[in-house]
Amino acid sequence: MPATIIMGGQWGDEGKGKLTDALATKAHVVVRANGGSNAGHTVTTSQGVFKMHLVPSGVLNPDCLCVIGAGVVIDPVSLLQELDELRARGVPVDNLRISDRAHVVLPYHPEIDRLEESARADDGIGTTLRGNGPAYADKVGRHGIRVADLIDEETLLRKLTREVQIKNQILTRVHNRPALNATEIYTDLVDAGARLREHVVAAEMLVQNALHDGQEVLVECAQGAMLDVDYGTYPYVTSSSPTAAGACQGAGVAPTQVKRVIAVYKAYSTRVGSGPFPTELLDEAGSTIRERGREYGTTTGRPRRTGWFDAVAARYIARLNGVTEIALTLLDVLDVFEEIQVCTEYRLNEVRLDYLPAREDLLAQVTPVLTPITGWKQETTGARAVDDLPPGARDYISFLEREVGARVTMVGVGPDREQLVPLTEDAAILAVA
């Protein structure tokens, strides 16, 4: 059976965790494809609110195998903490598998992340300071230590000794910081490796065998495609590829094995950290969205920047990723507005633009052309079927579908599992009991 990809269509935090949790009830395998503990996926169930960072959001479905793919960078301490917390809340984690090819975030990565951010001063990216960028830099620079190395003491000692030596040169000579102690790091890592060993597998083979056996495989991206290192708002991006192509690469799925690409978009926009954000709202409307949408970072607690739906960016992402359908989340946040705006094109020096310029200074100068839509001024949180949605809300959804060029098949009207409204018959199979 072909694979399904769930990816964020904006700047992350679109509610992918909730959707993955819902779809995982029908899946055999859920694979997390990219990112690290910079991500934060919130899932609300009858057992309460779960905030996952590294563990795939499918973990709350015990019948589903949860895989951390080769494209993820893993901070072992953070992962072990997450597993302990899940166990303490009665969630079994023996269904977790970890790719032996995934890279390890080492203690020097968050330190370098912090030092690089402070060296950038006013041009800081606003990273989550979890060490993701430096860990991916080491991966492509061929300095990385992988999970396969982590669980082999001899290899770990050899590679770590060499890397700590190199990093100590950078820390002491470039940043004027004290050197790190390789033995201490090694001792902590051996311990972490021993605890994680039982979960480690050749994940790409597991995924391929599942697909070969006709099983349903769900691939979950972290972050959002506007944070993609190639097509996002570079350099204000993350260091991996939270795209459909990146999902394939990170999970060990071939592009020809993918049937559905579900992009999750909020009914408005948010972003965390620095960088251009054409539809940003710095007024009352922006604060209303922030408070109603509880727009504060899962990982860092930072207030998120808020803005109207950016159909130029959404369309760009939908086309580049071959999006087959949209899950539109947090629609209820807009229930109180008399009028809602959607950015349908950009203007740059009187020139119309229907894509995102590569240069961040130009993107920062674009003016969004906003199309006003009449609000529905009615609560949608109780909607469970398309007919329960007010006509104004349905008109808004249809408008977005036309602008983005893909069907909206599911709409989120609140944090609970049952607040995911299927709009089409095939999406109705997702309705979670």
Q: Which residues bind ligand IMP (CB under 6 A)?
A: 11-13, 38-40, 125-128, 130, 132-133, 222-223, 227, 236, 238-239, 272-273
In this structure, are residues 376 and 390 in contact, taking their beta carbons and an 8 Å threshold? yes
Instruction: For residue 30, give the DSSP letter.
Output: E
Instruction: For residue 105, give the DSSP letter.
Output: P
Residue 57 vs 132, nearer CB to ligand IMP: 132
CA distance 187 to 193: 10
Residue 127, exposed/middle/buried by CB under 10 A (0-12, 13-18, 19+)? buried
Q: What letter represents residue 408's amino acid?
A: V
Q: What letter represents residue 63's amino acid?
A: D
In angstroms, what is the minimal distance from the CB of 223 to ligand IMP?
5
In angstroms, what is the minimal distance from the CB of 42 to ligand IMP?
11
Residue 33 vs 373, nearer CB to ligand IMP: 33
Residue 236 vs 376, nearer CB to ligand IMP: 236
> Which of the residues 13, 138, 332, 335 is marked catalytic?
13
Q: What letter represents residue 287's amino acid?
A: S
> Which are the contacts of 190, defined by CB distance < 8 A and separation ≥ 6?
153, 156
In angstroms, what is the minimal distance from the CB of 236 to ligand IMP?
6
CA distance 178 to 203: 38
Q: Is the peptide bond before 107 cis (omega within 30 degrees of 0)?
A: no
> Which of the residues 41, 53, 103, 199 is marked catalytic?
41
In angstroms, what is the minimal distance from the CB of 426 to ligand IMP?
29
CA distance 116 to 191: 29
Q: Which residue is nearest to ligand IMP (CB)?
A: 273
CA distance 4 to 21: 13
Structure tokens at 135: 């860990």
CA distance 126 to 171: 21
Residue 32 vs 167, nearer CB to ligand IMP: 32
Residue 350 vs 361, nearer CB to ligand IMP: 361
φ, ψ for residue 220, nearest 5 deg: -110, 120
Alpha carbon distance, N-terminus to C-terminus of the chain: 24
In angstroms, what is the minimal distance from the CB of 86 to ligand IMP?
19
Is 41 among the residues known to form the active site? Answer: yes
CA distance 152 to 183: 15
Residue 99 vs 223, nearer CB to ligand IMP: 223
In angstroms, what is the minimal distance from the CB of 253 to ligand IMP?
21
Task: DSSP for 54-103, please give it.
Answer: SS-GGGGSTTSEEEE-TTBEE-HHHHHHHHHHHHHTT---TTEEEETTSE
Residue 126 vs 375, nearer CB to ligand IMP: 126
In angstroms, what is the minimal distance from the CB of 128 to ligand IMP?
3
Task: DSSP for 211-279, please give it.
Answer: HHTT--EEEE--S-GGG-TTTSSTTSS-SS--SHHHHHHHHT--GGGEEEEEEEEESSEEE-SSS--TT
Residue 11 vs 316, nearer CB to ligand IMP: 11
The CB-side HSE value for 160 (13 A sphere, CA atoms) comes to 29
Active site residues: 13, 41
